[in-house]
């Protein structure tokens, strides 16, 4: 609540405008996402009230708009469908319990300063996963737009097959209504992105249903929505259900927080303030706990609503308080007007909302920046489509970590040459004009030396030592790029010293960093090198050539360290 004592009246008009704009957008989206999660529309509205207020009080982002989002809604449906019957009272209890569990996981991570754990889900993996989830979400809503009956399927391919086979049963009036809603949403998204198009579609579709008696003609509507405000209540804490939902709670926490913190940082940079990840975990955790205690389901920060919130002028979390007030007023006074809201309109709202999650431009950017990141992106995309949400993201995380290990096992190395007239040395592959000496080989390793790459580094250094045929037969290891050394790496160096000496090659070290020096001291390696450790690569070359490198401040240079 650090923003509240410093609140300035000049921000009030902008915050009010942004809060009302996002509120108008959130009401239909919350109902639509509840439908996606297999929940009644009022549950989505409940999740967009008290939790939004709690985040405004505990969160650190001034523009982030929290509430129900598409991916978390899909993951909620995927998890609950396998343990409780959709439409039952137990399903509602399980959704609230899942929100409570997600909140507790957030709080544990934030309180334990463990926000860094979400970094295991790389950006490329998240882009691939999000795109696949968007396809899954989109196809799951086609049945509502076409007015066909399709049972919930665990896998994307099965959903597509069911939709295609049932397409001949399309309900004409529903399809016309759903298609019209899609067209309006898409046109307004391009022509007037700040306009609450979803609210217009909701109002227009309700009028159409009542004016043409479409409900009597078979168009499915949401039906009665309770006008009772969210009430406090602890969901049933079933041990077996908690066990069944534990993995999903962790996955929703990671995915939801990644989505939330990514968009929060974008607008924090834009408005020149800081967003603290661990504090954000606590803010989102408190909001999800509130969702569980007030009849909602898991929530997080959303991309599209946050963009609208910022463009509409949000300057402080007061905008979110106004948004929550709009939703509460809708529940209290306007729900009778929404009983004729067709599911086709809600399905169209979801489809248009998730289209933007398939970010082709970002995929191209990732491939252009680092081609190997395409592996994690592709595995995430394919695994999520083929194996489902939870297994897919698990496979993607493992795949991305394997890519990281593969990079670590084959780090960048370079043979260095002298830049004439300087004390500088450069990679001969990039600067072929540098001077080299056939009797002195300078090798630089640009990675931590650990169990992952120790054997490969040993083989590399040995091969360079074996290739020396002219005097003075010296190998200088430039350690300036080595920022860490584990026990396996230290053992490898201990083995290298006698093996290289057996080849009648002098083994020198240069540019050794402090953390690596510490490990060498503890491993007894420092003394074995003796005077063959140098402050710089140039000093090492001078020493090998028989010249005396400058000696002052050797301890400050990290050579004569005790």
pLDDT value of position 353: 80
pLDDT value of position 120: 67
Q: Which two tokens stand for residue 112?
A: 């334990």
Question: What is the mean pLDDT of the segment spanning 338-355?
Answer: 88
Strand partners, 342: 221
pLDDT at 116 over 70: yes
pLDDT at 556 over 60: no
DSSP assignment of 396-455 equals HHHHHHHHHHHHHHS--EEEEEEPTTSS-EEETTT-TTSB-BTTEEEEEE-S-B-TTTHH
Compute the C-alpha angle 313/314/315, nearest 5°.
Answer: 110
pLDDT value of position 562: 47
Q: Which two tokens stand for residue 454?
A: 């120790």
pLDDT tens-digit profile of 79-112?
Answer: 998 899 988 999 999 999 999 999 999 999 999 9
Measure the CA–CA gap between 150 and 35, rounded to whole angstroms. 14
Contacts of residue 186, defined as CB under 8 A and 6 or more positions apart, other chains included, come to 352
Measure the CA–CA gap between 296 and 253, rounded to whole angstroms. 16
In the chain the first and final C-alpha atoms are separated, in Å, by 50
**Secondary structure string (H, E, C) spanning 449-504:** ECCCCHHHHHHHHHHHHHCCCCCCCEEEEECCCCCCECHHHHHHHHHHHHHHHHCC
For tokens 């963009």, the residue is: 307
Residue 504's pLDDT band, with cuts at 50, 70 and 90, is very high
In this prediction, what percent of the chain has a pLDDT beyond 90? 57
pLDDT at 27 over 70: yes
| Phi, psi dihedrals of residue 59, rounded to the nearest 5° | -75, 170
pLDDT tens-digit profile of 193-239?
Answer: 778 788 899 899 999 999 999 999 999 998 888 888 899 999 988 88
Question: What is the mean pLDDT of the segment spanning 27-44?
Answer: 93
pLDDT tens-digit profile of 136-155?
Answer: 888 888 999 999 988 877 77
Question: What is the mean pLDDT of the segment spanning 307-327?
Answer: 90
Q: Which two tokens stand for residue 513?
A: 């960093």
User: By the 8 A CB rule, do 237 and 192 touch?
Assistant: no
pLDDT value of position 244: 93
| Phi, psi dihedrals of residue 348, rounded to the nearest 5° | -65, -40
Strand partners, 67: 300
3-state secondary structure of 310: helix
CB atoms within 10 A of CB 173: 18
Q: Which two tokens stand for residue 293?
A: 């205690």
**Domains of the chain, earliest start first:** 14-226+239-355 (no CATH), 413-544 (3.30.750.24)
Which residue in 532, 452, 531, 449 sits closest to 493, CA to CA?
Answer: 449
pLDDT at 442 over 80: yes
Residue 125's pLDDT band, with cuts at 50, 70 and 90, is confident
Question: What is the mean pLDDT of the segment spanning 499-513?
Answer: 94
pLDDT value of position 459: 94
Q: Which two tokens stand for residue 138?
A: 């989109």
DSSP assignment of 147-203 equals T------SSHHHHHHHHHHHGGG--HHHHHHHHHHHHHHHHHHHH-TTS-HHHHHHH
| 162-171, 189-198, 332-341, 482-491: least confident range | 189-198
pLDDT value of position 255: 85
**Secondary structure string (H, E, C) spanning 78-126:** HHHHCCCCCCCHHHHHHHHHHHHHHHHHHHHHHHCCCHHHHHHCCHHHH
pLDDT tens-digit profile of 454-493?
Answer: 999 999 999 999 999 899 999 999 999 999 999 999 999 9
Measure the CA–CA gap between 487 and 246, rounded to whole angstroms. 36
| Phi, psi dihedrals of residue 342, rounded to the nearest 5° | -75, 145
């Amino acid at each position: 609540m650090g923003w509240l004592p410093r609140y300035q009246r000049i921000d009030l008009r902008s915050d009010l405008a942004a809060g009302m704009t996002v509120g108008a957008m959130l009401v239909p989206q919350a109902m639509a996402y509840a439908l996606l999660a297999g929940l009644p529309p009022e549950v989505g509205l409940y999740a967009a009230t008290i939790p939004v207020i709690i985040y405004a009080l505990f969160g650190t982002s001034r523009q982030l708009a929290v509430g129900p989002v598409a991916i978390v809604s899909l993951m909620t449906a995927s998890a609950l469908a396998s343990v409780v019957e959709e439409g039952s009272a137990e399903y509602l209890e399980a959704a609230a319990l899942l929100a409570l569990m997600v909140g507790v996981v957030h709080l544990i991570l934030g309180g334990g300063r463990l926000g860094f754990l979400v970094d295991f889900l790389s950006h490329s993996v998240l882009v691939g996963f999000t795109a696949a989830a968007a396809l899954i979400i989109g196809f799951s809503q086609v049945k509502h737009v076409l007015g066909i009956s399709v049972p919930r399927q665990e896998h994307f391919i099965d959903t597509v097959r069911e939709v295609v086979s049932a397409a001949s049963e399309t309900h004409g009036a529903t399809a016309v209504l759903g298609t019209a809603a899609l067209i309006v949403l898409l046109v307004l998204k391009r022509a007037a992105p700040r306009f609450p198009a979803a609210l217009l579609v909701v109002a227009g579709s309700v009028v159409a249903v009542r004016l043409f008696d479409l409900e009597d003609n078979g168009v499915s509507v949401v039906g009665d929505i309770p006008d009772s405000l969210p009430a406090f209540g602890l969901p049933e804490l079933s041990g077996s259900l908690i066990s069944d939902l534990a993995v999903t709670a962790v996955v929703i926490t990671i995915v939801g927080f990644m989505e939330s913190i990514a968009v929060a940082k974008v607008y924090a940079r834009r408005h020149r303030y800081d967003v603290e990840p661990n504090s954000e975990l606590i803010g989102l955790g408190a909001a999800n706990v509130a969702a569980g205690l007030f009849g909602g389901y898991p929530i997080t920060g959303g991309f599209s609503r946050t963009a609208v919130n910022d463009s509409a002028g949000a300057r402080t979390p007061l905008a979110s308080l106004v948004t929550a007030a709009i939703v509460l007023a809708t529940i209290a006074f306007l729900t009778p007007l929404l009983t004729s809201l067709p599911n086709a309109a809600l399905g169209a709202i979801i489809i248009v909302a998730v289209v933007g999650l398939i970010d082709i431009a970002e995929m191209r950017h990732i491939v252009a920046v680092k081609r190997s990141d395409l592996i994690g992106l592709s595995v995430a995309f394919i695994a999520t489509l083929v194996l489902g949400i939870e297994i897919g993201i698990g496979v993607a995380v493992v795949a991305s970590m394997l890519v990281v290990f593969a990079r670590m096992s084959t780090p960048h190395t370079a043979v260095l040459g002298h830049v004439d007239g300087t004390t500088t040395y450069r990679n001969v592959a990039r600067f072929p004009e540098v001077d080299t000496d056939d009797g002195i080989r300078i090798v630089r390793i640009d990675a931590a030396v650990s169990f992952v790459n120790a054997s490969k580094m040993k083989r590399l250094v040995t091969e360079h030592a074996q290739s020396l045929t002219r005097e003075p037969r010296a190998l200088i290891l430039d350690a300036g790029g080595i920022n860490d050394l584990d026990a396996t790496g230290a053992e490898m160096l201990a083995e290298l010293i006698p093996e290289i000496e057996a080849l009648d090659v002098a083994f020198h070290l240069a540019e050794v960093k402090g953390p690596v020096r510490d490990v060498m001291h503890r491993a007894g390696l420092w003394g074995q090198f003796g005077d063959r450790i140098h402050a710089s690569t140039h000093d090492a070359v001078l020493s090998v050539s028989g010249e005396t490198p400058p000696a002052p401040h050797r301890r400050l240079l990290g050579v004569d360290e005790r």
